[in-house]
Structure 1
């Protein structure tokens, strides 16, 4: 592949004079380029929706969401995965982020790791990959061997696979079942895909993980009702969520949350249905943790 022909590697005619601009002009130029990102992602929403449904199906089948990438792409996957347990109350390991070269590559580049197809396969084998898992490969260029190797192995294992890249018709797009390719255009700084490409990937990951968790029963209305209240700020947020969902006073919300160990879902159900804590938890279990279903049935 001629890497210089990739959209993400070409020069941007709108930013040829970065080194001659004032500071305000410089940041304005970056901001102008950033406005293109959300529009590029918008063009891929049908594919993003397919990925959300596939992610939710994986979770409901007892599988995992596994992100894999190198460099910035890998770091973004690890970031999104690490936010899921505190935000949605899911166990660590349900959403996994793999980066070429291992955890050390989060802070310092591991030379050659991204060029090793076998390493991608081996990292997935290390997770005991199974057909219920969803594997999401991230590569701005769309040609990273580590990601291609992982996606090919995931396909052989029977997994649904997703590719997120910023070059249309890329090799990883051709390997995966679902291809998401927001074309953000040349970077403001030539080839620096941590800029627009990284932003686009982050926006897509936000939608995949959050959308999947909505469909997995982790959200009521627009409230993160399975959030783990592990600090003062989050204890207060839990109280406010109960108040907003039920109309209860702060005093009532705090009293009920004490009975549920600050678990928001049963607290809301207790106030709105009159159930005690044990019965509320049982009702939620009957409806697979979906609070709306527990309230309506």
Structure 2
């Protein structure tokens, strides 16, 4: 038996807790069932289809905000802040980036008051994972426990775990660690809580703890199947921010009405056509081997989040470190050229980076020796600073005739020198202006943490990046066939995609994926896509 067959058999036998096709968040969204065809009809049609998925969240949001568990979370926030405790948001991947954003928005609002440490974030893998997911970290509850323990949570504090699927092991680890230390814990999920409780042991133990309140907000499938960076993270962003604003600043408004107005504005008027033109420009840039670099100040973290999430979702080259001359250049990148890279990271995060510098003994103590097979992961602050998001020159990004610099802002465009780039474009959200190349006007509710400005940037960037990838042929129907299987959840998703696309039983699709992983090792190709093409090309399936 070959090694890939042994690995496939092991996954089928020992990783049944990561077979997640039964979760509603993994289902196909009927609105986007023919997304590739919609974009084939016209880019604007595809853009409108994507925004319809966001607008459909309104009813789920109204129900969540009216739920007694939301009120309980808001009151817990209020009591904690009033008594000098702290609120810690915990997430992984897209929700980890959301946790970091929530901390940044809080620091922006209370800077200089001494209240900055009252809101904190835990990202599975530390801040380094903002750029690159650290392979298989999310599969280990002990990793989450250790990160939560470092926060010294205790009675009087609150931890909010954010996981769309409700089952991410590392987040559940933070939940249990905080609960056992006496903190109040809220777990925000986007599936019916009974489903993972019935099927997954790790969920039963966390959900049943007396200090844990689960707020389930089932919202169905994502616009791109399984891509929880989209609708579920949008929903979680509004709910967490609404609770924090109401608790800390006494803001009492209809967040659901404000969301509905924003979603309606983005999907109508001049916005879809403007965003469609941006999609076409970005698609053309990549098709002709050019690179895109986004420039921003206040919204650099939001744009960085969308840009880095493209790598696992669509199997694109990851951000490249400044001492790496071998890896391919990332298609998209972000910069703040007004300052050096160390300062740009501080401005982006609104604080010094918090990275993990775990040693070999740490992994052994946590029972994760398998992580060490490829050496100790380098995830410290020094490694994060190797991603040059500051003023440092980037000749590899601006020496080609098709390279483009995008300046992006809300209400005003950032004043930045982008003269080194052969082409420059601007995207202005908020105010309508003839000075920008792509105008996305919208009215929004003014809130203390500027929720709706940041939400608008998220929604627009999600549509821009997703639409571009659809037009680049990296989506079939509404499935992301160019998938990077960097954790067990994604291995399962890849198996299900192969099964659906090729008409194979799950077990056979699993064997074929692990074979594909062996064949693609070191190539940078998606083992899911290459497996589907291989199976369809050799006549085994029609």
Do 1:68 and 1:77's aligned partners in 2 also have CA atoms closer than 8 Å?
yes
Contact 1:173 1:180 in 2 (8 A): no
Q: Map Cα deviations across residues 230-251 of structure 1 (whole Å, 9 max, x no partner).
A: xxxxxxxxxxxxxxxxxxxxxx
Structure 2 CA distance for partners of 1:220 and 1:43, relative to 1, 3 Å: closer
1:183 equivalent among 209, 218, 223: 218
| Residue in structure 1 matched with residue 85 of structure 2 by the alignment | 63
Among residues 239, 244, 251, which one is paired with 1:204 in the alignment? 239
Shift of 1:173: 4.8
The 8 Å contact of residues 118 and 146 in structure 1, kept in 2 or not, is answered as: yes
1:43-77 superposed Cα distances (whole Å, 9 cap, x missing partner): 12222221110111112222100011100001101
The alignment partner of 1:25 has SS state of helix
Q: Once the 2 structures are TM-superposed, how far is the Cα of residue 220 of structure 1 from its aligned partner? A: 11
Residue in 2 that maps onto 1:11: 28
Equivalence for 2:118:
94
| Pair 1:141-2:178 in alignment | no
Q: Give 1:34's aligned residue.
A: 54
Map Cα deviations across residues 17-66 of structure 1 (whole Å, 9 max, x no partner).
11112211111111111112132121122222211101111122221000
Paired residue secondary structure (1:135) = strand
Of 49, 57, 64, the match for 1:44: 64
Q: In 1, distance between residues paired with 2:229 and 2:168?
A: 15
Distance 1:36 1:220, change over 3 A: closer
- After superposition, what is the alpha-carbon deviation per residue over 1:66-119, rounded to whole angstroms, capped at 9, x for unaligned? 011100001101101111122134533210011000010011111111111111
Query: 1:13, CA displacement in angstroms?
Result: 2.4
Structure 1 position 211, deviation (Å): 1.5
Secondary structure, in 3 states, of the residue corresponding to 1:201? helix
**Correspondence list, 1:1-297, <5 A:** 1=17, 2-21=19-38, 22-45=42-65, 46=67, 47-89=69-111, 90=113, 91-169=115-193, 170=196, 171=203, 173-175=207-209, 177-215=212-250
- Decide whether the 8 Å contact of 1:80 with 1:209 is kept in 2: no
Report if the CA contact (8 A) 2:57-2:219 is conserved: yes
Distance 1:173 1:128 in 2: 22
Q: Partner of 1:53: helix, strand, or coil?
A: helix
Aligned counterparts of 1:19 and 1:220: Cα–Cα separation in 2: 41
Whole-angstrom distance in 2 between the partners of 1:200 and 1:83? 17
8 A Cα contact 1:136 1:163, kept in partner: yes
- Alpha carbons 1:165, 1:173 under 8 Å: kept: no
- Residues of 2 paired with 1:174 and 1:41: CA distance? 25
Question: Which consecutive residues of structure 1, in runs of 5 or more, have no partner in the other structure?
Answer: 222-297
Structure 1 or 2: larger helix share?
1
CA distance in 2 between counterparts of 1:174 and 1:30 reads 36
| CA distance in 2: counterparts of 1:118 and 1:208, whole angstroms | 29
CA contact (8 A) 2:35 2:46 kept: yes
Unaligned runs of 5+ in 2: 1-16, 197-202, 254-542
Indicate conservation of the 8 Å contact 2:84/2:118, yes or no: no
Quick one: distance in 2 between partners of 1:56 and 1:220? 14
- Give the direction of change, closer, same or farther, for the CA distance of 1:16–1:220 in structure 2 (3 Å limit): closer
1:1-21: CA deviations, max 9, x gaps? Answer: 440111111112221211112
Runs of 4+ in 1 over 4 A off after TM superposition: 172-176
Equivalent pairs, count: 218
Structure 1 counterpart SS, 2:229 = coil
Distance 1:166 1:220 in 2: 24
Contact 2:110 2:116 in 1 (8 A): no
